[in-house]
Structure 1
């Protein structure tokens, strides 16, 4: 009974063997007769990135700054004579415009005119005294000539008496008498010569006194002219407080006048940006060993536009570079560029425009020489001194570039790009060199770049039309 039970248990266990053997045989057959494995290549996925064609354009370097307008020419009226004010120009009031040559005020000059008359009388008296002395010299010289003739006669008589005495034909008393007469005549001649000699210094003294009187007369006449103040140029009157009858002294400040035709704006420009104005190649002959004022003007021949913001509109004025300040602000690193503006008279204006006045806060744009055929790209396309490009197979590459300068939202490339390359604008993060790119033409970014470059040149006084900027490579 136990044997039958044991055999039934082992029989059940042996039933699993045939299926296992069958599975092994089937697996061996399948391995032996299965088809060879094939590799299915996976399609490469491309990335879509915004791109644009690198173009060449005419670029106008520009530096912008801010400053306050002030009058270029000013004149301070200071009295050179003293007296009461007799007359004042009716328009001599703050803010009035007075034309060149108009009489501003007149100071009482009666004292100076009396001084001129007195000096003229003194000069006439001195001239009369000089004429009298000159006539005395003439008379004395005539008398001297006669006395010399008498002296010659007496000398001959004395010589004859002396001869007779040697021959013992004359007497000692007679020769002594002749000697006395001769000596007295010699003394008369000497007195006349001394008198003539003394008249010469007297004439010189009178002539010196006359010159002094003439100088005083000239000074008095100049004071008469100084008693009348005229406008040295067409000017706008500043603060003034004068009345007829007011007494003024020498050296007193009366008022100030300003030339409204010429204005100056000292624009504070960043020192780090001024170099872009000198990017254009210049003739080496302009760089002299000693920079003269004329060479300096040629070197800094920059145009400028001065903009003044108002309540509703912005007025623009054509300017020209005048000079650069001598120091750089140590805190702001700014340097002062002085720009001149001419207030054009209404008769010469193309459209009605108010004059630029002192104190106006101005936005100043200084323009350098236009650079032709420059490689220009958006600033945002530059990453750590390099740009991303697409090769002929639309794969991503990197190119190091050197910049001439950056301006607004674009950059001018000095080396690294020649134009015609396809530039990747968007940041391909992560950037994998050689990856396939599906380029998307960034027409809006291209047009924005063209408009930005064109705007800088059209803002200058002699700017070109925007259509002249784009240069297709």
Structure 2
């Protein structure tokens, strides 16, 4: 009874051994050779083209010229132009305000009277000089005669012919003549000092006249150019003081706006301009087609105004680190027909389009085809290649490539996820 399990062991071992032999000697699974299917993508074949760099910006308009009228004299406002109201347009050379000139007319009359008095004194001094000169000549002749007579009397006195009293009289007469000559010479010597004093007084009177005339001129305020009044702070019968601002106005001949351009965008406007040409030359004296600017109100983009770059302000924007470019538009009121066509007035928001010097033979691709400084290019055997490139600038949804692409390269414009270098592609040329 106990030998029955032992008798069953040899058949089981034999079965296990047979199974191991069959597994180890059986052939492996058949391998079928094949490749992953190629991914169809849209591509564009790049070619060199000519592009004119375009930069857009916006800003607030301001008047190119402003007039701040400050009272230079004190007095009562006696007349005010009927059109001197905020918003009114006033042509150049129009008298708009008049201050009472009575005090300054009196000051002018007084100064002119003083000048006349000093002129008369100067004429009197001239006559006095002439008279004194003639008298001095006579007194000198009399002195000569007195000295001759004194010598003769002294000789006769020594001979005993004349008494000593006669000699004393001759001596006194000679001394008196000498004194008279000396006094006249002293009077003539003082004439230059008197002339200088009178000349100074005349000059002072002339200065007073000029000051009074200038004050009289300043009693009237006249517009220096065509303008639009923005503020008036002087009323009729009101007394104004020197230094008081009475009128503020904006010129209407031109308006300007400061456009803040990124440094790279600003640099791209230079295009293919020669190195010898400066930006100032391109702004003002460059040939047509270098830098052109158009301006449109944001409230009415259909209005287009030609403009021009005037200057660059003195410093970069402290926060945005942009270049402040001042653009001017002439005759901002031309063709104004509110509300159909509004004039370009201060504080109006406008958009600006800058077109720089043309770039020749450059390569541009859609901006969406650039992925973090790399392009997906169809390489040899239609395999995907990730190629690093250098971007020059972007505009209008396109990117200008400075380095990394050549004409004839095929750029993938579809988004591939994941993009694995070497993956097979089926390129399909996208329509332009």
Scaled by the length of structure 1, the TM-score of the pair is: 0.75
- Segments of structure 2 that go 5 or more residues without pairing to the other structure are 1-30
Return the offset for 1:376.
0.8
Distance 1:437 1:295, change over 3 A: closer
Distance 1:198 1:410, change over 3 A: same
Rounded Cα–Cα distance in structure 1 between residues aligned with 2:281 and 2:352: 24
State whether structure 2 residue 373 is matched by structure 1 residue 385: yes
Secondary structure of 1:55's counterpart equals coil
- The more displaced of 40-49 and 395-404 is 40-49
Structure 2 partner of 1:64: 56
State whether structure 2 residue 351 is matched by structure 1 residue 363: yes
Distance 1:432 1:125, change over 3 A: closer
Return the offset for 1:321.
2.3
Structure 2 partner of 1:339: 327
Structure 2 partner of 1:305: 294
Structure 1 partner of 2:391: 403
**Alignment check: 8 A CA contact 2:43 2:413 kept:** yes
Return the offset for 1:61.
2.2
- The more displaced of 301-310 and 224-233 is 301-310
- The more displaced of 127-136 and 138-147 is 127-136
Structure 2 partner of 1:232: 224
State whether structure 2 residue 210 is matched by structure 1 residue 218: yes
**Alignment check: 8 A CA contact 2:295 2:305 kept:** yes
Write the mapping of 1:36-185 to structure 2, written as runs, cut at 5 A: 45-164=37-156, 172-185=164-177
Return the offset for 1:358.
1.0
**Alignment check: 8 A CA contact 2:77 2:235 kept:** yes
Partner deviation per Cα, 1:416-465 (whole Å, 9 max, x = no partner)? 2232322221234444555553322211xx3xxxxxxxxxxxxxxxxxxx
Return the offset for 1:121.
1.8
Secondary structure of 1:315's counterpart equals coil
Distance 1:346 1:262, change over 3 A: closer
Structure 2 partner of 1:453: none
Return the offset for 1:78.
1.0
Rounded Cα–Cα distance in structure 2 between residues aligned with 1:176 and 1:405: 118
**Alignment check: 8 A CA contact 1:279 1:404 kept:** no
Write the mapping of 1:10-49 to structure 2, written as runs, cut at 5 A: 45-49=37-41
- The more displaced of 271-280 and 103-112 is 271-280
Structure 1 partner of 2:7: none
Secondary structure of 1:212's counterpart equals helix
Distance 1:129 1:295, change over 3 A: farther
Scaled by the length of structure 2, the TM-score of the pair is: 0.81
Count of residues in correspondence between the two structures: 398
Rounded Cα–Cα distance in structure 2 between residues aligned with 1:434 and 1:248: 85
- From 294, 306, 309, the counterpart of 1:321: 309
Rounded Cα–Cα distance in structure 1 between residues aligned with 2:335 and 2:370: 50
- From 401, 408, 423, the counterpart of 1:420: 408
- Segments of structure 1 that go 5 or more residues without pairing to the other structure are 1-38, 288-292, 447-473
Return the offset for 1:339.
2.0
Rounded Cα–Cα distance in structure 2 between residues aligned with 1:165 and 1:76: 94
**Alignment check: 8 A CA contact 2:59 2:258 kept:** yes
Structure 2 partner of 1:35: none
State whether structure 2 residue 209 is matched by structure 1 residue 200: no
Secondary structure of 2:304's counterpart equals strand
Structure 2 partner of 1:15: none
**Alignment check: 8 A CA contact 2:390 2:402 kept:** yes
Rounded Cα–Cα distance in structure 2 between residues aligned with 1:294 and 1:139: 73
